Chains A and B, each alone.
Chain A
Amino acid sequence: MDPKPVRAAVRLYGAALRFLPQGFRARYGRDLEFDFREIVLRAHMRRGASGVIAPTLHGVRDVMLSAVRERGRDGAMNGTMLGQPIRGRRAQPGEAMMRWMIELQQAARSLARRPGFAIAAVLTLGLGIGANVAIFAVVDAVLIQPLPYPESDEIAVIAHHAPGLNLPELQNSEGTLRFYREHARSFGALARVQTTESNLTGLERPARIMVAEVSPNIFDVLRTEPRLGRRFVAEDAVTTGPPTRAILTEQGWQARFARDPDVIGKRIVLNGQPVEIVGVMPDGFRFPGRETEVFVAREVDPAGPFGRFGISGLARLKPGVTVDAAHRELNALQKRFGEFDDDLTPAFLERAQWSATVERLHDSQVEDVRTALWIVFGTVGFVLLIACANVANLFLVRAEGRHREIAVRAAIGAGRGRLAWLFLAESLLLGLAGGAVGTAVASLAVEALVARGPEQLPRLHEVAVGARTMAFAIAVSLLIGVFFGLVALVRYVRPTMGAALRESRGDTGSRERHTLRHALITAQVALALVLLVGSGLMLRSFERLRAVDPGFQSNNLMSIGVSLGASPDRARTAAAYREIVREVAALPGVEGVGVINAMPIAATGLNGGSFAIEGRPVSDNAIPPTSMWTVASHGTLKALRVPLISGRAMEPRDSETQTNSAWVNQTFVKRHLADGTVLGQRIQLDGETWLTIAGVVGDVRTFGIDEEVTPMVYLPLSTTQPTTSIEIMSLAVRTDLAMNSVLPSIRAIIERVAPEAPITTARMMDEVIAESMADTSFTMVVLGIAAAVALLLGAIGLYGVITYVVAQRTREIGVRIALGAAPGRVMGLVVRQGLIVVGIGLVIGLAGALALTRLMESILFEVSARDPLVFGAVLVMLAAVSVAASYLPARRAAMLSPLEALRTE
């Protein structure tokens, strides 16, 4: 058996042989293959696999040239010209192909004669195509390709919304899941999913990991089976208390067990409770999030409350049931909620604008990035158009130089069709070469993107340059090739060939010849304006985001996850946190420290709901006031530098004893207590103890820098409110020391006080804020680069055209100067000509920008899509660049000496 490279080379050679005429192939085909095999075999022996390449290329080239020669001879024997279809003789198989080969060869030679043109065109196109191919790969993988589950468009996310309650999205309660499972006909299966963070112990080192609590029928919904072990069965699931069975995801299997194949049956300890591993999910399975390490089995609790929301519901629609139909069914069913929960009467639901939502899983995963991705895709599309306009300009310049060549060719008998083929062959070659460069660029870009793209981009790991992306690249390249072919055709193939032959040198450019050129510049200016406005708007958004007051001072502030886990003895847990805080505060260089369960910007696991204000009974069916609440130790707000607006600050005694005090933020006051006393007012959360408002503090952006501030109640660490949790907290440490120098001491303290507490990440809050703006900054950077490229290409194009026009008018300008026109007037003449073209482009671009930037509204932050500042600045900038691009050639024109100008031909 021959080595693989040799076999591949021989197969390729065999394919190339098909181009040879039938008779020759029948007689010598076998000999050719024998010899070729011998040649590559020896090359392989001498130089290894890479040695095969050169003889293969030579061999194939030899076959192709021979094919041209042989067929040319066949043609000659039949008394025909090479490349002309032969009338009365049936075309032989492969003949059309051969003609093409000849055209391509000629085209390649013709391009090689002007390498500057070819290189400029290929590089410009390569960059444009590359950007498009890379973004297409992302758009395709994230938005277009279905999720990697069988029949994934049947998978839907069930949730509830109640804008009237001023709470973030309500998901499901044990009750609603129970109710829908029993009554909804739309679903083949409805699974319960709840993500939590848990302490993982029992292995080498404790860790805090993402855990998904799922009902066993999740496997019916996702239709994905474990790669090892088995799926969950009904008996695995608990309804209350700690879970007992787990399935690892790829992440967990990798990180905690180094892909140990004998992991089935082993135990891990989650939040202090042993759990048995029964399975491992396949690689690439990322549900619900890419950080999820463990699934545990938990079934819907038959006795669980109806009114406590916060559980995800994931359904598989029955075949043929649409999302809309399911949506209608749930909204009809929810009218019966009142039967199960006294508060959720139809009248209340209506006032809360309550509705159930059903959304495809794919849509719910990508909805945050969909707009931004399409905008980025559109942006790079514009860049490609501008690049094409520039290359088209290059084509036109080249066309001027070839007028006579073409006319000569036509005169000696080349038909118009044949000339057309020649141009098409040239432009196709350019397009494909650009596509090849572009694909290489795209591969690098995609690699970089997958490695370093924004965390928030879902399905990023699925992005790759695959068959579909390649098909896209080829299609775009061919399209561009044909487009330029047509541009060239419009220029050359005219009935007035004779006129071109007669054409005298130095004639002033005909108006008609400039029309196309001017149209290209107009288009470029218009496109550049749209891109510049788009990137200007993103820049302004980013600036506004940066200007947002997060409500606390993020510099020199560190956030360290510290979770002591669920302990039945809450007082003891609180005491442990207090001890950690006390010891960290004593470290040198620490200016402030506190512990809180909702660190600003990236808060998770917050509690909230309706509450009562003393002396203000809520009438039946009216919507009660709502707020979020969070638990913080007394030093926290001071460490965060959240300002105290009125009242007293939280004191150590609040953390240690039950003072029944609460602190509220300004939004809370504005929304709920605007017309009464605030300090001393009593509120009651969830029908528990009455708490007295002891102080008002500044607003903090809890959920992200671009998220609205919600009403917030701060409860001291000593609180025993059952709806609050202190299992998972964050330590806020203010210090101007470097993170590395203070972190080990803090970790040592945590380890001493709570040996079982996992080591978790520590981060600077500045970094957290930057990440919160990552979506915007990513889009901004892409748009910014695109706009810069657009501006540059546009300026180059304009400069080229004005220069050309000046060159064409040199004689005329010379006459004017000879007749005494002042240099200033000549310059004005030339610049004016450029600016008229630019002006038309600006008007068209302005209209386009007004229409298109509206699509950006949803990703803008506090900036109107018609921001006059941005539009104005862009107009001024483009105008300035245009003047500059026209000025240089104009100056050259004005400096001409009349004699020189008149002598020019």
Chain B
Amino acid sequence: MPNRDLSEYLPLKAAWLHILLALAEGSRHGYAIRASVEERSEGRVRLWPATLYGSIRDMVAEGLIAEVAGEPAPDDDPRRRYYDLTGFGREVLQAEVRRLAKLVEAARLAQVVAET
């Protein structure tokens, strides 16, 4: 899927951003994605299974992530499916992060929050 317009995906849905962030560290199965998101957000964001897999399905369809042959950890069920970022997914993630960074920078300049 060459030359697709990244901006079509921005701003990213919150759940998608979290999933992409979780997968940026390497391939994971569904529950591991949830655990990673929960940990990163200090328990504030919880992706419940139906929402999670709904997003996964859509993101696979959009080519942001792909199912991969994972290397199951010894205590994982072998039937689990693993997902990883595609190149395009990584681009989208980077574009979103840049967009957010700009926003943060703008906010900083406007002195919305006190500097630390």
Contact = CB atoms under 8 A, between A and B. Distances in A.
A36 to B, nearest CB: 5
A700 to B, nearest CB: 77
B79 A62 contact: no
Interface in A30-72: 30-32, 34-36, 38-39, 58-59, 61-63, 65-67, 69-70
B54 A34 contact: no
A320 B80 CA distance: 66
Given A31-B30, A34-B31, A35-B30, A62 B49 contact: yes
B57 A38 contact: no
Nearest to A59: B48
Interface in A548-594: none
A32 B57 contact: no
A30 B48 CA distance: 14
A70 B57 CA distance: 11
B52 A35 contact: yes
A422 B67 CA distance: 43
B62 to A, nearest CB: 14
Contacts of B34: 35, 39
A39 to B, nearest CB: 8
A62 B53 contact: no
Interface size class on chain A is 20 to 34
Contact of A35 (B49, B54, B57, B79): B49
Most central of B54, B56, B81 by chain A CB within 10 Å: B54
B46 A32 contact: no
Interface in A54-109: 58-59, 61-63, 65-67, 69-70
A869 to B, nearest CB: 68
Nearest to A17: B50
Contact of B46 (A28, A34, A58): A58
A31 B49 contact: yes
Contacts of A34: 30-31, 77, 79-80
B51 interface: yes
Nearest to B58: A73
B5 to A, nearest CB: 22
Contacts of A58: 46, 48
Interface string B37-67: 0000000001011111110110000000000
A27 B53 CA distance: 10
A28 B53 contact: yes
Contacts of B56: 28
Contact of B79 (A24, A30, A32, A38): A30
A278 interface: no
Contacts of A65: 50-51
Contacts of B54: 24, 66, 69-70
Contacts of B77: 34
B57 A24 contact: yes
A35 B51 contact: no
A20 interface: yes
Given A31-B81, A34-B31, A35-B30, A63 B53 contact: no
Given A24-B57, A28-B57, A30-B79, A66 B51 contact: yes
Contacts of B49: 31-32, 35-36, 39, 59, 62-63
Contacts, number: 52
Contacts of A31: 30, 49, 53, 80-81
A63 B53 CA distance: 11
Most central of A31, A59, A69 by chain B CB within 10 Å: A31
A60 B99 CA distance: 35
Contacts of A66: 50-51, 54
A30 B77 CA distance: 12
Q: Is the interface of B mostly helix, strand, loop or mixed?
A: helix
B30 A20 contact: no
A717 B75 CA distance: 91
B37 to A, nearest CB: 12
A24 B52 CA distance: 12
Most central of B50, B54, B81 by chain A CB within 10 Å: B50
Contact of B57 (A27, A30, A39): A27
Interface string B6-45: 0000000000000000000000001100100000000000
A35 B34 CA distance: 9
Nearest to B54: A66
A35 B56 CA distance: 14
Nearest to B56: A28
Contacts of A38: 31
Interface in B76-99: 77, 79-81
B9 to A, nearest CB: 18
A24 B56 CA distance: 11
A194 to B, nearest CB: 70
A32 B50 contact: yes
A31 B60 CA distance: 15
A313 B48 CA distance: 69
A61 B50 CA distance: 10
Contact of B31 (A28, A35, A69): A35
A32 B51 contact: no
A27 B52 CA distance: 13
B75 to A, nearest CB: 11
Contact of A63 (B31, B50, B79, B81): B50
Contacts of B51: 62, 65-66
Nearest to B79: A30
A212 to B, nearest CB: 63
Contacts of B53: 24, 28, 31-32
A539 to B, nearest CB: 60
A649 B58 CA distance: 105
A62 B31 contact: no
A65 to B, nearest CB: 8
Contacts of B46: 58
A540 to B, nearest CB: 64
A65 B56 CA distance: 16
Nearest to A58: B48
A651 to B, nearest CB: 93
A20 B57 contact: no
Nearest to B53: A28
Most central of A34, A35, A36, A69 by chain B CB within 10 Å: A35
Contact of A62 (B48, B80, B81): B48
A775 B81 CA distance: 71
Nearest to B50: A66
A98 to B, nearest CB: 14
A20 B57 CA distance: 14
B23 to A, nearest CB: 16
Contacts of A30: 79
Nearest to B80: A34
Most central of B46, B53, B56, B79 by chain A CB within 10 Å: B53
A28 B51 CA distance: 11
Contacts of A62: 48-51
A58 B52 CA distance: 13
Contacts of A32: 49-50, 53
Nearest to B47: A62
A58 B51 CA distance: 11
A39 B52 CA distance: 13
Given A34-B80, A67-B50, 17 more contacts: A20-B50, A27-B57, A28-B57, A30-B79, A31-B30, A31-B80, A32-B50, A32-B53, A34-B30, A35-B30, A36-B49, A39-B34, A58-B48, A59-B49, A62-B51, A65-B51, A66-B54
Q: Which 7 A-B pairs have the closest CB atoms?
A: A62-B48, A66-B50, A28-B53, A32-B49, A35-B49, A35-B31, A63-B50
Interface of A: 20, 24, 27-28, 30-32, 34-36, 38-39, 58-59, 61-63, 65-67, 69-70
28 contacts: A24-B53, A24-B54, A27-B57, A28-B56, A31-B30, A31-B49, A31-B81, A32-B50, A32-B53, A34-B30, A34-B77, A34-B80, A35-B34, A35-B49, A35-B52, A36-B49, A38-B31, A39-B31, A39-B34, A39-B49, A58-B46, A62-B48, A62-B49, A63-B49, A65-B51, A66-B50, A67-B50, A69-B54
Interface of B: 30-31, 34, 46, 48-54, 56-57, 77, 79-81
